[in-house]
Structure 1
Amino acid sequence: MSDTITTDVLVIGSGVVGALTARKLALAGRQVLMLEAGPRIQRDDIVTNFRHSARKDDFIAPYPNSKIAPFPDYKPEDNGYLDQAGPKPYKPEYLRVVGGTSWHWAAQAWRLVPNDFRLKSQYGVGRDWPISYDELEPYYYEAELLWGVSGPAEMAKYSPRKEAFPLPPVKKSYLEQRVTERLSPKYELMTNTTGRNSLPYDGRPQCCGNNNCMPICPIDAQYHGGIAADAAEKAGVKLIPQAVVYKLEQDGHGKITAAHYYDWNKVSHRVVAEVFVMAANAIETPKILFLSADAKNPNGLCNNYDQLGRNLMDHPSNSATFYVDEPLWPGRGPMSPSSIQQMRDGDFRSESAAFRIDFSNSSRVAGVTTNAIKEGLTGQELEEAIRFRSSHELSIKNVLEQLPDPNNRTMLSSGKKDALGLPTPSFSYSYDEYVEKGMQHSLSVYADIAKMLGATDVRYSAPGVYSNNQHITGTLAMGFNEKTSVTDRVGKAWEYDNLYMVSTGVMPTVATANSTLTACALGLRTADAILGKI
């Protein structure tokens, strides 16, 4: 027989969004329990794993996967956790560990732009948010203070702000300085806003230029969910790792009454709470709600109108790589330091996806050396090729807006199960003409940038083959009514008075900014709603 645990608030998932939400509730005097499917990890261990890994370009490799709480892994071969229903593959990379996926991120911390909240009314496509930019602005700043976001003041012309960034921007690398100069004034290359310390902040050191922000900052100059989880525990949150939630109970009268989880010994436990907060990611949260199907809810909880898991969005990307006509020596400083913001908004969005252009500062040495050896180069010729290519090669990529499409969705697999016997996630996914038009627009910008930098040997990604960016949104979308969304304007499930969602999944549109800062701001706002402040 399972034991029963009682708490005021149960938070399911310990990623950065859930942890900061839990912390805020605990600081307000609530008794908060947070469950995490995966194990605790330590930064030092992950740094050691990364240093010893033969696959430095595999950002999953340093992190411990498990059969009890598996997460997707594709290298050197697909571990089969996810089920692909097509027509396009969708291969997200996320972690199930204490602190969540932001352990291996780039900590990009852009806000959305105001028109992102009114896409339908402004441009006639997509959908509007049930809240405005101005309503979320103070919560953006609250999240930025917790992260220690650094950024340039001029970013305010894209995303207006009432307070200065907590920290000034990280110093520009040589590559960033030179490319900024050469692309100006046509393109404004701007230092990214990031959860990365440009000065010592909150007991953590400033960035010292290690070029492996992904998969792990070796000194914690970069903010991540592990730091957020630690802060939650210091605030009084009780955290239980290795707790795989597999079912919610409901009372038939609009209340969730309990959650059930398996520990890693496959023993079931039951948690009773007044308030339940779903803080797993935008794939694992719908999975739990689908698994909670009962006689009254045969299609899962929060799914009376078949909205759960639908409108899955990410940021499709491709890239261009070329040799610049001067040495830039990428590899000194952060891996993704700068971007062009100018195409994130405009009237063209009525027909074509908005996008951002990111510039890579990742070291090229390993990649160009491998390719040169494959070409059969040896001796002096090999040495010269490595030196030229590693100092001159530059890679840029786009980050494209994707419109909500109900046919893009996450579901339960009909055939695959994990070691606990739970169905794994399944996806139906594709791109539409809106994305394709944005892709063509960005390719013209690639060509222009390459020309301005005197590029040679320009190589584009394979046509029609796009990567995603692990910015999983839409599957729990907030909206104006229960027939077209899963949650209301504060993240509360339409059908249950005490069930809330804090996740990138509640975002109704994906826009062109990495999604975690917005999700944290929304989570902090949801905490205020739970506390009766909204």
Structure 2
Amino acid sequence: MAESLNADYVVIGSGLIGSLTAMKLAQAGASVLILEAGPRYSRDQIVANFRNSPRRSDWMSPYPFSPWAPHPVYKPEDNGYLIQAGPYPYPAEYIRMVGGTTWHWAAHAWRNVPNDHRIHTLYGVGVDWPVSYDGLEPFYQEAEEIMGVSGADNTGSPRKKPFPMEPVAEPYAMRRIRERLDPAYKVVTNTTARNSRPYDGRPACVGNNSCQPICPVDAQFNGGRAVAKAEAAGVKLVPNANVYKLESDAKGRVVAALYYDPNKGTHRVTGKTFIVAANGIESPRLLLLSSSDKFPKGLANARDMVGRHLMDHPSTSLTFDADEDVWLGRGPQSPSSINTMRDGDFRKEHAPYRLDFTNISRVDGATTALIAAGVYGAEFKRRLRYSAARELNVKTVLEVLPHPENRITLSSQKDGMGIPKPEAHYFIDEYTHKGAIRALDDFRRIAELMGGTNLRYTRDGEYANNQHICGTLSMGNDPATSVVDKWGRAHDHENLYMVGTGVIPTAGTCNSTENGLALALHTVHHILGGQSGGSASVQS
């Protein structure tokens, strides 16, 4: 075993949040090392992989699978990496490589609404956050300025400063939806980390329809950009370094990270402070793997809270045919939504939700369905054109409450490196299901206003997963019910911090990345004694 690396801060995971955390620490003058389990690939390689992929609708296909850093793969078949313990399947999808999963995200960068932080006090459900909306507001702003967020001031989230950019141009289909649904519904532009003008060395969005799996012109912020910022600040990154254990001393301080290289050679890295920044599945997995005589349940887990409160945003949906040609597929894939059900007194009874409109081209899906149905020739051409021009889809983005039974544990099965695989225990409760039932009224009304026919609802009790993994390292004031304090520090270890979406205490109705990043910047502000925070300086 070689010991050759040491730093003030050792960050495990090079995703968007981990890399920007490392950047901020390095900018303050610290030595910072990132250990990333997977390999490094360039944007050019990923774009080429996407263009050459035979599975264009499979957003994971352009990204490499590495036997030494495995992740879940479901197409063309499930690789069995994430073990499903039920009772409801949780097919989480993420990438283990330099830059992490935001290589292929939709770039939604929503803030919470203020009441999301007080749902137990206000509505008697879930838990309250240990950080108020007002306390997090400057870090939301900083996150938006670092990423380059475009949006409109009608989201329900109060702001002290404007968005860095005005919204990206509204696609024609979304304009027609907005016009026809008004005044019954206010359709708003989604808040996204996507340029509407040149910003921070990236060009403006030009309307490509492949934001997932990769923006071909680099108008969208992603983990690769975050890594570049970190390295420019002086951070050292080691790829292909699969951390399988954190060592601790008799006082409970973390003293080293052990990692395997692709040949399963073992390496030991020392540091003063350790920051676990993998995702909401791999981070608790690492803590559970880091057991010892003093900590037989793993690190930060004296009260068996690591991995609990797993949350996401389940979706139900309606697909229908409008009474006019709208032609989805021009512009970003997820550009508009309805936000009126994000908050209200109804949260005492059922889950809140956003209603999100897809703008993904219908050509690929319609083609596949018609061929599978044996349709060819002139009839194929007619029906393909009709579906491509008129098919619309709207989905819910539902809140899931933090239940301790929803959790990530270690499986008895092992991956190719001999490390126990993660195991998901998950269910959808009645609170969320009642929200989905309430949304049916909205689905029907939206279809009616669009002259909809051929209505196809998801089956009752069937939910799609949005890959917004959060809650498994929950933040809170009480060590009996949480893993980290309000600063992201483990209750049981003075030099161990967690950043990422896993620390989010409740899921709300917004995609988790901006919440996770704002909390990480809040953590850095604390670590540096208040020297960090506020607005970032970006050349635009």
TM over 0.5: yes
Aligned to 2:414: 417
Aligned to 1:391: 389
Aligned to 2:62: 62
Q: Distance in 2 between matches of 1:377 and 1:55?
A: 21
Aligned to 2:173: 175
Shift of 1:353: 0.3
Determine if the alignment matches structure 1 residue 304 to structure 2 residue 302.
yes
Shift of 1:352: 0.1
Q: Distance in 1 between matches of 2:252 and 2:182?
A: 57
Superposed CA offset, 1:47-92 (max 9, x none): 1111111111111111000111000000010011111111111110
Aligned to 1:150: 150
Shift of 1:121: 0.3
Aligned to 1:495: 492
**Letter matched to residue 174 of structure 1:** Y
Shift of 1:186: 1.2
Shift of 1:43: 1.0
Structure 2 unaligned blocks of 5 or more: 532-540
Aligned with 2:518 (options 521, 531, 534)? 521
Shift of 1:252: 2.1
**Letter matched to residue 428 of structure 1:** H
Shift of 1:481: 1.4
**Letter matched to residue 342 of structure 2:** R
Q: Distance in 1 between matches of 2:495 and 2:370?
A: 59
Determine if the alignment matches structure 1 residue 511 to structure 2 residue 515.
no
1:234-313 alignment runs, 5 A limit: 234-313=232-311
Aligned to 2:427: 430
Deviates further, 13-22 or 462-471: 462-471
Aligned to 1:119: 119
Contact 1:119 1:128 in 2 (8 A): yes
1:153 partner SS: coil
Question: What is the TM-score of this pair, normalised by structure 1?
Answer: 0.98
1:154 partner SS: coil
Aligned to 1:10: 10
1:363 partner SS: coil
Shift of 1:451: 0.8
Aligned with 1:473 (options 455, 460, 470)? 470
Q: Distance in 1 between matches of 2:250 and 2:184?
A: 60
Q: Distance in 1 between matches of 2:264 and 2:371?
A: 49
Determine if the alignment matches structure 1 residue 92 to structure 2 residue 89.
no
**Letter matched to residue 204 of structure 1:** R
Contact 1:116 1:511 in 2 (8 A): yes
Aligned with 1:202 (options 177, 200, 203)? 200
1:260-409 alignment runs, 5 A limit: 260-409=258-407
Aligned to 1:107: 107
Aligned to 1:137: 137
2:177 partner SS: helix
- Alpha-carbon RMSD: 0.9
**Letter matched to residue 454 of structure 2:** D
Q: Distance in 2 between matches of 1:54 and 1:325?
A: 33
Q: Distance in 2 between matches of 1:230 and 1:384?
A: 47
Q: Distance in 2 between matches of 1:23 and 1:115?
A: 31
Q: Distance in 1 between matches of 2:60 and 2:352?
A: 29
Superposed CA offset, 1:197-221 (max 9, x none): 0000001100011100000001110
Q: Distance in 1 between matches of 2:370 and 2:281?
A: 40
Q: Distance in 2 between matches of 1:417 and 1:373?
A: 39
Shift of 1:93: 0.4
Q: Distance in 2 between matches of 1:436 and 1:154?
A: 28
Q: Distance in 2 between matches of 1:43 and 1:191?
A: 27
Q: Distance in 2 between matches of 1:435 and 1:340?
A: 18
Shift of 1:249: 1.1
Shift of 1:26: 0.2
Q: Distance in 2 between matches of 1:244 and 1:66?
A: 11
Contact 1:2 1:267 in 2 (8 A): no
Contact 2:39 2:66 in 1 (8 A): no
Aligned to 2:211: 213
Aligned to 2:71: 71
Aligned to 1:48: 48
Contact 2:57 2:364 in 1 (8 A): no
**Letter matched to residue 89 of structure 1:** P
Superposed CA offset, 1:331-374 (max 9, x none): 00000000001100000001100000100111001211222233
2:425 partner SS: strand
Shift of 1:261: 0.9
Superposed CA offset, 1:281-310 (max 9, x none): 111011111110111111111111111100
Q: Distance in 2 between matches of 1:377 and 1:418?
A: 43
Q: Distance in 2 between matches of 1:271 and 1:533?
A: 28
Q: Distance in 2 between matches of 1:368 and 1:210?
A: 19
Q: Compared with structure 1, are the counterparts of its residues 374 and 420 closer, same or farther at alpha carbon in structure 2 (3 Å cutoff)?
A: closer
Shift of 1:384: 1.3
Q: Distance in 1 between matches of 2:293 and 2:4?
A: 23
Contact 2:189 2:337 in 1 (8 A): yes
Q: Distance in 1 between matches of 2:306 and 2:37?
A: 21
**Letter matched to residue 307 of structure 1:** M
- Percent of aligned pairs with the same amino acid: 56
Shift of 1:178: 0.5
Shift of 1:44: 1.2
Q: Distance in 2 between matches of 1:377 and 1:119?
A: 51
**Letter matched to residue 427 of structure 2:** S
1:428-467 alignment runs, 5 A limit: 428-467=425-464
Determine if the alignment matches structure 1 residue 161 to structure 2 residue 146.
no
1:186 partner SS: coil
Contact 1:331 1:362 in 2 (8 A): yes
Aligned to 2:229: 231
Q: Distance in 1 between matches of 2:208 and 2:255?
A: 47
Aligned to 1:31: 31
Shift of 1:533: 1.4
**Letter matched to residue 425 of structure 2:** S
Shift of 1:262: 1.0
Structure 1 unaligned blocks of 5 or more: none
Contact 1:49 1:62 in 2 (8 A): yes
Contact 1:278 1:502 in 2 (8 A): yes
Q: Distance in 1 between matches of 2:463 and 2:386?
A: 29
Shift of 1:389: 1.2
Q: Distance in 2 between matches of 1:384 and 1:246?
A: 55
Question: What is the TM-score of this pair, normalised by structure 2?
Answer: 0.97
Superposed CA offset, 1:113-172 (max 9, x none): 0000001001000000001000000000000001100001222xx100000000000010
Q: Distance in 2 between matches of 1:30 and 1:478?
A: 25
